[in-house]
Amino acid sequence: MTEYEALTSRLKEVKVKIDSDGVALVTLDRPVGRNAWTLYTQDELIKVYTALEEDERVKVIVYTGGDNKNNIFCAGADLSMGDFSSESSGTKLTEREHRDGGGRFVTFVHNRVRKVTIAAINGHASGVGITQTLSMDIRLAWRDAKIVFPFVRRGIVPEATSSYLLPKLIGNSRALQIFLTGNVFKASDSIYNGLFFYEQPEKREDVLPRALALAREIATQTSAVSCYFAKSLVWHPADSIEGQHLLDSRAMFVLGDGKDSREGVKSFMEKRAPKFAATVNRDLPDWVPWWNHVDLSVPNKSKL
């Protein structure tokens, strides 16, 4: 049994499989708990995404919900396992030591996953049920999915870095309307314009097939290295337009002389599908990443 097979055999709340096109399907599968989020969910997702990030076969990761009975993508935090206090984790933490569980997964995807990530939101999503998807590259949602950021109605704050990501995705004004009311809106509501993929299936059962088709299109028709550079340039830009010009010029110089660029031009001229071979695991220049990550580790307790 390989290390990857050993990992998947131990999973309890998440399922994963990889197809021949390089598309990995990750399914949150807690139908008894209405797909609610737990600390086990968080830990299993990070382990799975770590394995998929290291697997050279994988080009695109699709994440979806497995609760087909209740039309739920993810019901949010599983409050039956405790409230929002730090003691719910079973470990007493101080204010400075606490790390929000959803935020650990979201920042991991944002900072460490170089593959294209797609959320296939095939049901209703509340709280961390929706915030867990905000650092993913594309969110494809059932148009009638009820989406809610209920935090102010629970006496807490928008978690999982959603107060950083949501305004960047849809703007401060609409993000504040969503955060400060805690109201429920359908995915098709204009307040969410720009948050979800431009196609919103009318039937929830059509969401995953459409997301997988999109994933296969990206996996087979685009360069994995080009996709990584594209999303990195968006999320980690220079401080000025001139700085961005220098940054993307450097990237153009490197990629323009690469094997995927040559294949892209050749396949276009020959009117055939491209066969891109570069991977983010082997073919990135040594100056990537060009940005620094904030240290999220828990500070050591001082010894007296």
SS3 for the chain is CCHHHHHHHHCCCEEEEECCCCEEEEEECCHHHCCCECHHHHHHHHHHHHHHHHCCCCCEEEEEECECCCCEEECCECHHHCCCCHHHHCCCCCCCCCCCHHHHHHHHHHHHCCCEEEEEECCEEECHHHHCCCCCCEEEECCCCEEECCHHHCCCCCCCCHHHHHHHHHCHHHHHHHHHHCCEEECCCHHHCCCCCCCCCCCHHHHHHHHHHHHHHHHHHCCHHHHHHHHHHHHCCCCCHHHHHHHHHHHHHHHHCCHHHHHHHHHHHCCCCCCCCCCCCCCCCCCCCCCCCCCCCCCCCCCC
Mean pLDDT on 43-48: 95
Q: How confident is the model at residue 86 (pLDDT cuts 50, 70, 90)?
A: low
304 — pLDDT class (breaks 50, 70, 90)? very low
- Entry pTM: 0.92
Per-residue pLDDT tens digits for 95-113: 777 788 888 999 999 999 9
% residues pLDDT > 90 (the chain): 79
Q: What is the pLDDT of residue 194?
A: 96
- Where residue 75 falls among pLDDT bands split at 50, 70, 90? very high
pLDDT band at 284, cuts 50/70/90?
very high
Residue-wise pLDDT for 162-220, tens only, equals 999 999 999 999 999 999 999 999 999 999 999 999 999 999 999 999 999 999 999 99
Domains along the chain? Answer: 3-220 (3.90.226.10), 223-289 (1.10.12.10)
